[in-house]
Structure 1
Amino acid sequence: MPDYHALSVDDVQQNLGTGRSGLSTAEAEERLRRYGKNILREEARETRLQVFLRQFKSILIIILIVAAAVSFAVDEPLDAAAILIIVFLNAILGFTQEWQAGEAIAALKKLLVQRAVVIRDGERREIDAPGIVPGDLAVVEMGERVPADIYLIEATSLQVDEAPLTGESAPVDKAPGSLPPETPLAERSNMIFAGTTVVNGHGRGYVVATGMQTEFGLIAGLSQQVEDETTPLARQMDRLGRDLGLIALGIAAIAVVIGLLQQRELLEMFLVGVSLAVAVIPEGLPAVVTLTLALGVKNMMQRNCLIRHLPASETLGAVSVICTDKTGTLTRNEMTVVRVWTPEAEVEVTGAGYIPEGEFILDGAPIDPLADPGLRRFLQTVLICNHASLGHGEEGWRIFGTPTEGALVVAAAKAGLSREDLPEPVKEFSFNSTRKRMTVICPGREGGGYIACVKGAPEVLLERSTLMLRDGSAVPLTDDLRREVLLAIEGYASQGLRVLGAACRPLSTAADWTPEAVEDDLVFLGFAGIVDPPRPEAAEAISLCRSAGIDVIMITGDNPLTASAIASVLGLSSEGALTGADIESLSDDELAERLRTTNVLSRVTAEHKLRVVDLLSRDRKVIAMTGDGVNDAPALKKASIGIAMGIKGTDAARESSDMVLVDDNFASIVAGVEEGRREYDNIARFTRYLLSSNVGEIVAIVGGLLLGLPLILIPVQILWINLVTDGFTALALGLEPAERDVMQRRPRDPEEPILNRNAYLVILLLGAWLGLLTLHAFLGVYEVDLDRARTMAFTGLVIFEVYNVLNFRSFRFPLYRIGFFSNPALILAILGTLALQAVVVYVPPMQIFLGTAPLTLADWGLLAILGLPVLIGGEVYKVIRLRAGRASRAAG
């Protein structure tokens, strides 16, 4: 496809085979067959069956299914049924959560363009936007979305919001005329692109690309080529599943060999092997992980984070770098006048956003802006020379029109001015990117005649001015005064402020009202400094990221000065700013080195973002990438966790993301990180708890085997402990509140296994203790009654694990520090577990099902006393460790 922006109108017409009357209906229909509909090809959404089957991909789940098959083979149908029930419940839970998230994303979708206006057969027609074809002469007006890539041949005050495509936060001025071939996409002022929005004026032009051939479509296609990243938790759980599978086979095989050497029957030893394999695998672990993540997703939603895939909620907790958009995420996306410079004074304007409340401050004290002649005239001029309007509805105050013009309307409203108080315009010379100014002529208030009100780039107005307003009178604009004004303009720009100037000129009724005649010999009135103010909570969120060891990188389509200024206000330290051109000029190694110290990237493209994410990933970093436009989609998909904007995000961004930020607020991401860290901590807690319990079962069974005893725990009892007893307490452990210093810790290494060497040591020590206690409980009554001995071992292990679960509420702090009742769900789970065990011991049908016999109250008391040291030992260890840590820090 040729570079249409570099062609003349005649060349474009010839290339497309079109003209000023547009295409004929017959030609348009033929081209529609040739080029296809003007729609983006989306990745097909997974069916319900595909989403459901994906829940069975985990290695742990596969091992459980194999265990169920083995149970059936050895004539243990109840065991097999119990395992399969938990597997399917786990799958149903995961499917429900993911499908509901998908439905929520679908509900957020909006059609890119529903209708469009074209000229066909010389007539103006409204058609379905998918029916637009290359060569069509399209018409666009304020408030409409652009239906395709269009080469402009006419434009009147045309401004387009290109943020979804280029990331540029300010509306872009558009005008006809050819441009150099090397002109970057963001600077092609003679083109308007599919998916962008007309915010001012109107225009018409030839459609040069539709559907997937548009700039929007090309980037959408790029995102579809990027493969999804596997989450750290999924990798760790798969690794754990493989390890447990091998351990189960190894222990079962060793036990069978020991039994055969003791000349036990093969069938009995096979049953022992199955029991040990069942004991090794924590059957309830996948379900508890899924339930914990599902509950975490609900918590995330309360923090305005809509999670699309369950593991993404935990991945957020592992994030070490957040690449964030600026406009609307770190800032309010509401342009605001913060300063006004006039020849007499420099005034600060308070208040942020579109709420018309604020004060005008001069030398630290509020002033009446209408009592100052220069300030009053400036505000009147920018209000007259303005197409924006301020309105109030259910969603609060909002601007209709361009954000920059809206900022001026709000500033005037803060001074008590409204358009109704000003004269009606009689003529207008519109703004365009060449003139860089706009003029409105209206009747004069005093002495008759008319007045020209001019608004535009201050340096342009300064060139055309010969006077400036000072003390209510026009005084000559000397060279020294010009230099003073230019220095003030440069000072504002260096602080990242957008600058807009105003001037005026009295006119007589006999004047020749042409732009060149009217916009000369102006009286310069001053200029306003405009900024998109940072969100008040963003600076605190960035500070929290710093304490949590998370790097924040601002990636924006805005200019470097504005980006750097906002970064400075937010406390985001950076050695300068990298532009898209800088990124292209650097090698991978050079760019990776710069990214270690530079946290502000500006004027970047989709390819730049993708390259940055790729380089950061090579450093084993977990990257969260935020974005709202189609230009963000490839990087969102490549990042460890892609975060799309819920309010101003495009469909392409949401479909490529793992999470949708409902309120578009950076602080919500940080809140999500805290929740994700809490989830991972709790998953680590109950994983270690469940495995220590399983080690206890193994030690008890193998110990009995070595002592020549019958099977201490039968498979169905082990399953009951693993699925019911441990399941309830582990799930409640997953609700443990976050530790107070959760956001003062460095991000964890994504490749570090969920069980490190120290964890294995704790698991083995506590598990061995539980197993020996269980064996002791069995031996106490074995000579009298085998069923009662098994019941003592079975119930004893449940009681010992109740004590043990309290040990795992924190790896560092004793109970008195975290509060015994700070997790009420765990207290209820413990009481429920003991109640269920009583049912198992005393209700006849359950006695038959689980092979139990009644116990006396003395038996329960003995078991309670026997297990108490498990808790006391854990608490003593934590107190000693805590005091040793304090002493070490004091000595350091």
Structure 2
Amino acid sequence: MSNQKSILAYQLSSTETVDSFNSSVKTGLSQADVLERRATYGLNSLATKKSINPAVLFINQFKDVLVIILLVSAIISWAVSLISVSGTSQTYSQEFIDRSMACINDPISPSDGASSSCNLASKLAEKEAITIPESSKCQTKELDQQFTVAWGGGTACNLYVMLGMPKLPVSDSSQLLKTNNEGSREAILIFVIVFAIAIIGFLNEYRAEKTVEALKKLVGSKAQVRRAGQIFEIDAIELVPGDVVVLDEGSKVPADLRLISVSNLYANEASLTGESVPVSKNTLAQKGDKPLGDQKCMAFAGTFITQGRAEGIVTATGQATEIGKIAKLVNEVEEEATPMQRKLDDLGKKLGIFILLICAGVFAIIFLFVDSQTGQSLLERSIFAFTAAVALAVAAIPEGLAFVVRISLALGARRMATKQALVRKLSAVEALGSTDIICSDKTGTLTRGEMTVRAIHIDGKTYSLTGSGYETTGKLTIGKKQVKPNEAIFALMRIGVLCNNAQLQHNQILGDPTEAALLVSAAKLGMQDADIRSVWGRETEIPFTSLRKMMSVVTKNPSGGYSIATKGATEKVLALCSHYLTSSGQQKPLNPNIRQQILDENHRLSSQALRVLAFASDNHANQPTSNTQIESNLTFVGLQAMMDPPRSEVIDVIHRVQTESGIRVIMITGDYIDTATAIAEEIGLHGKAISGAELDSLSQAEFEAIVEDVSVYARVDPEHKIRIVQALKKHGHQVAMTGDGVNDAPAIKAADIGIAMGIAGTDASKEAADLILLDDQFLTIISAIEEGRGIFDNVRKFVNFLISCNIAEVLAVTFGILFFDNLILTAAQLLFINIVTDGLPAVALGSDPAQKDSLRQKPTYYQQPILNRRTWVEIFVFGGLMTTALLFQFWYNLHHESILAAVSAGFTAMVVYELVRLIDIRTDYNIRWFSNPWLSVAIASSFVLQFAVLYIPKMASYFEVGPLSRHDWLFMVTGSAVLFAIMKSLNPVFDRIGSETHAVVK
């Protein structure tokens, strides 16, 4: 489609506009003109962004560094399982396994235990036709440091390297590795985990880019157009520049129009400008640059006609319309990774490098330095080295991390939903916690979005009227003293009801918000609109126009005759008045002094950002027949001043979050700067206020220099909002942007956290948002931030826990290989620990409640890395201590019992000590232990599952373990207590190493 001509139509007269498009008001375009222009400009539709390919989105889930490493590990494990190596493919009978396991619990004395076990092992080996190498036969009489092995099918003795005994041949030590079938099952298990993570990520992230689709719905589907001198109803998509369009009350404007004739026309432009009050339209050209909200002779695509009738010439269609420009901005905004995504990606890369380095190192050590004088082939040594590296990779990779993160975010999203915050993107859940700036729309978010009469002026006195919004409860006061309404006040309220086309039904308003406020003010004083209107029947109406700036009605007077009720701009109404009404209901001449007093009070109220209307009346014995008769020699009754008031809870909330939470609130509105400043002062927003026009006059460098000092932006357009967000982000801020209109959609998408209104919000703003406020209340944002902070703490806790576990496993496996020439834990055992016994408590940690005082913590705490310097030191200290305890217990069992006992004790000790680490981490937070019953259930479940693995024969066979002795359990209980005590005693040291702690600042 070719570019449409750039014409500032509001600066041209209606005749000039028609001529510039070679059109005609009377006949419109010819069919030939339409076809020619459609070929040039295309259809009146918005360009849509190419939708996301689900297959591509699913494949993207595998780009995570940790997932790639895990996938490679699974492939290697599977490949290794396909290769049959001499001495590693023996399958053992169940009798051999059962009797070998029984050997561990054989109550023999230490002095004869080795011999007894050796004899049993030899007999079993003989029965299984397995040859025991001479180098491995027991010599208990000469070497009392030796121990026997009744597990693995071939090795009778395995000497501890640290005692200087001969090492076992690799072909024999590799008996601890899995058989072909077991290796393939481990590979399958890893594949299942990887695909589970991918599927969860896919389901959470898959959503079509519907923002532009929502924008398309705003453009009218049908349009009345004059072509070749006749009126046709056509599909709006067929409109072209130069078409003459007819608008009626209730119409949706189908394209951008320059109005050429109007009759009492009002348009609701809230979706485009953000302001909910309908705008009066006219045909007068305007000079200079004007924001959209001030272009009175224009009607814009996507807005609604609330009153009147008009004709206009199409000046822009499709992407060239104001809504089209917004759609283009939405498409151009690139979504960035959330803080957590960036932190987890960084953590994944660091872990990936660490895993690759340590696996490569271990592979090299095994391949190059393990004794190769046994005649083992290069392939056999390579297979063992590969298998050890795979087991190490499995130990190092937190397989459940991605899964637990997503589960935690999903649980947080559910909790937010109960607080009226609907999460559209799970990543937004955590990102809220690190938000330090909230850019909030004024209307409907900081304010109620409901015009409310705040003051009335009668006979020189100004009264306050309490109550907010459309609730019909309120009191009339002077100062702090409640007063009763007098005759003049009742007359003022009656005029407000009669000269009014809105309706109030059960606190619900139908009609213009300004007129609605007048019905509510009367209802607060006990005057119901239905009762008044039933008595004072309307006869005639002179409608409000932008030129007249007032409205009058003629009604029947229940006392006889006819009454006039007039409302409008004070200057206009006052010019028609010859008398004024006193508080007692008497009419007195309106002298210059009284007239000036009224104008001064009008100015005073207006300076407080109040919208002021004047009211007048008159009585006639006969029904007046002309406008001049109706609107002359009126009696001035009084003023009513109204505004869209702040929400009752906003003032306290803003004060609390700015002083205690370190969150700065910025107001961005399409309203006039005086109104915006007055509201800002009332709700406690202090700082500079600038308009969109002033923003245009600043260079980017100049704006970035003052952006930290500005708290109020008024009369801004979508481009301004994006510029504000980008400038704040450039200063390192985490920005949340709220909005409800189409004009807010680009900035909502550009912000770190986009927040849309659920009630007043347009489809476009909702589709661009990460979070939707179901109740449209600012307080809900704060509740969501509090929940986000709790989720950040939870993520930090379980990442700390999982990484602690994996680092400990890496250290244990690595030193096990170095000290014992063997894997003290198999890949299957490590997967079980990482997914089951670690995974369940980690998921439960994700449901921990937020700390009570989380909002008192500064946002910088939540902007730090998930694992800071202090935490890394803790992790490695705990890993070192746990590895020491585990290897000692492994060595002890290997020295006094059997390899089966050693592996079983090491496997179980790993589970127990990691759960001790979980308890250690959680006690650093200000949370009651039993506030999360799921955590207790998860820990108990981990123990139950571990018992099942040890004592259920088939599970024990699969994981190559057996039952533990009493002294094994005693050693683990003692070791757990010692580990916990040491970690707690080192907290002051850790605090000195790191600049901050887990706990909330008190």
TM-score (norm 2): 0.82
| Offset at residue 492 of structure 1 (A) | 1.6
Paired residues of 2:10 and 2:286 also in contact (CA < 8 A) = yes
Match of 1:300 in 2: 416
- Equivalent residue of 2:807, what SS? helix
Match of 1:78 in 2: 185
Q: Distance in 2 between matches of 1:50 and 1:741?
A: 42
Match of 1:387 in 2: 501
1:396-417 CA distances to partner (integer Å, 9 max, x unpaired)?
x321111111111121222323
CA spacing shift, 1:101–1:399, aligned 2, 3 Å: farther
Match of 2:517 among 397, 407, 414: 407
Match of 2:10 in 1: 5
Q: Distance in 2 between matches of 1:177 and 1:215?
A: 20
Name the aligned partner's letter for residue 433 of structure 2.
Answer: G
Quote the sequence identity (%). 39
Match of 2:236 in 1: 129
Structure 2 stretches of 5 or more lacking a match? 82-182, 373-380
Match of 2:847 among 729, 735, 746: 735
Structure 1 stretches of 5 or more lacking a match? none
* 1:699-738 equivalences in 2 (<5 Å): 699-738=811-850
- Equivalent residue of 2:878, what SS? helix
Match of 2:440 among 324, 345, 349: 324
Paired residues of 2:564 and 2:619 also in contact (CA < 8 A) = yes
1:79-131 CA distances to partner (integer Å, 9 max, x unpaired)?
32222211211222222233479899999996543433334454544443333
CA spacing shift, 1:50–1:331, aligned 2, 3 Å: farther
Q: Distance in 2 between matches of 1:101 and 1:543?
A: 39
Match of 1:855 in 2: 964
- Equivalent residue of 2:470, what SS? coil
Match of 1:167 among 266, 274, 287: 274
Q: Distance in 2 between matches of 1:427 and 1:507?
A: 13
| Offset at residue 344 of structure 1 (A) | 4.9
CA spacing shift, 1:792–1:102, aligned 2, 3 Å: farther
- Equivalent residue of 2:62, what SS? coil
| Offset at residue 459 of structure 1 (A) | 2.9
| Offset at residue 790 of structure 1 (A) | 0.6
Match of 2:425 in 1: 309
- Equivalent residue of 1:178, what SS? coil
| Offset at residue 422 of structure 1 (A) | 4.2
Match of 2:72 in 1: 66
Q: Distance in 2 between matches of 1:9 and 1:102?
A: 39
Match of 2:320 among 213, 227, 231: 213
Match of 1:261 in 2: 369
Q: Which moved more, 1:671-680 or 1:539-548?
A: 539-548
1:706-757 CA distances to partner (integer Å, 9 max, x unpaired)?
3235221111111111111111111111111111221111113776422221
Q: Distance in 2 between matches of 1:696 and 1:266?
A: 26
Q: Distance in 1 between matches of 2:404 and 2:207?
A: 20
- Equivalent residue of 1:390, what SS? strand
Query: Is 1:118 aligned with 2:225?
Result: yes
CA spacing shift, 1:665–1:215, aligned 2, 3 Å: same
Paired residues of 1:543 and 1:571 also in contact (CA < 8 A) = yes
Q: Which moved more, 1:35-44 or 1:224-233?
A: 35-44
- Equivalent residue of 1:503, what SS? strand
Q: Distance in 2 between matches of 1:720 and 1:735?
A: 22
Query: Is 1:674 aligned with 2:786?
Result: yes
Match of 2:916 among 789, 803, 820: 803
1:18-43 CA distances to partner (integer Å, 9 max, x unpaired)?
32244456755665555443332232
Q: Distance in 2 between matches of 1:510 and 1:798?
A: 94
- Equivalent residue of 2:225, what SS? strand
Q: Distance in 2 between matches of 1:223 and 1:93?
A: 27
Q: Distance in 2 between matches of 1:318 and 1:775?
A: 41
Query: Is 1:351 aligned with 2:459?
Result: no
CA spacing shift, 1:10–1:32, aligned 2, 3 Å: same
Match of 2:936 in 1: 827
Paired residues of 1:773 and 1:867 also in contact (CA < 8 A) = no
Q: Which moved more, 1:409-418 or 1:718-727?
A: 409-418
Paired residues of 1:101 and 1:308 also in contact (CA < 8 A) = no
Q: Which moved more, 1:119-128 or 1:133-142?
A: 119-128
| Larger radius of gyration between Structure 1 and Structure 2 | 2
Query: Is 1:495 aligned with 2:501?
Result: no
| Offset at residue 258 of structure 1 (A) | 3.5
| Offset at residue 600 of structure 1 (A) | 1.2
| Offset at residue 343 of structure 1 (A) | 1.5
- Equivalent residue of 1:56, what SS? helix
1:349-397 CA distances to partner (integer Å, 9 max, x unpaired)?
222222333333345444443xx121111111121111111123xxxx3
Query: Is 1:57 aligned with 2:57?
Result: no
CA spacing shift, 1:583–1:812, aligned 2, 3 Å: same
Paired residues of 2:499 and 2:551 also in contact (CA < 8 A) = yes
Alpha-carbon RMSD across the aligned residues, in angstroms, is 2.9
Name the aligned partner's letter for residue 194 of structure 2.
Answer: V
Paired residues of 1:98 and 1:308 also in contact (CA < 8 A) = no
CA spacing shift, 1:282–1:43, aligned 2, 3 Å: same
1:411-447 CA distances to partner (integer Å, 9 max, x unpaired)?
1222323242442333222212222111222344556
Q: Distance in 2 between matches of 1:66 and 1:539?
A: 56
Match of 2:723 among 601, 608, 611: 611
Q: Which moved more, 1:19-28 or 1:518-527?
A: 19-28
Q: Distance in 1 between matches of 2:229 and 2:522?
A: 45
TM-score (norm 1): 0.92
Paired residues of 2:43 and 2:239 also in contact (CA < 8 A) = yes
1:610-666 CA distances to partner (integer Å, 9 max, x unpaired)?
111111111111111112222222222221122222222233323332222222221
- Equivalent residue of 1:164, what SS? helix
1:733-784 CA distances to partner (integer Å, 9 max, x unpaired)?
1111111221111113776422221111011011111211211221121132
Query: Is 1:42 aligned with 2:48?
Result: yes
* 1:247-646 equivalences in 2 (<5 Å): 247-259=354-366, 260-263=368-371, 265-362=381-478, 364-369=480-485, 372-392=486-506, 397-415=507-525, 416-418=527-529, 419-446=532-559, 448=561, 450-470=562-582, 471-507=584-620, 509=622, 513-515=626-628, 518-546=630-658, 547-572=660-685, 574-646=686-758
Paired residues of 1:341 and 1:527 also in contact (CA < 8 A) = yes
Match of 1:872 in 2: 981
Paired residues of 1:105 and 1:654 also in contact (CA < 8 A) = no
Paired residues of 1:278 and 1:719 also in contact (CA < 8 A) = yes
Paired residues of 1:384 and 1:422 also in contact (CA < 8 A) = no
| Offset at residue 329 of structure 1 (A) | 1.0
Paired residues of 1:322 and 1:625 also in contact (CA < 8 A) = yes
Paired residues of 2:291 and 2:715 also in contact (CA < 8 A) = no
CA spacing shift, 1:368–1:142, aligned 2, 3 Å: farther
Match of 2:856 in 1: 744
CA spacing shift, 1:843–1:61, aligned 2, 3 Å: same
Paired residues of 1:698 and 1:771 also in contact (CA < 8 A) = no
1:551-577 CA distances to partner (integer Å, 9 max, x unpaired)?
1101001112222222223222x2242
1:444-478 CA distances to partner (integer Å, 9 max, x unpaired)?
45563x33321111233233433221131222223
| Offset at residue 286 of structure 1 (A) | 1.0
Paired residues of 1:699 and 1:772 also in contact (CA < 8 A) = no
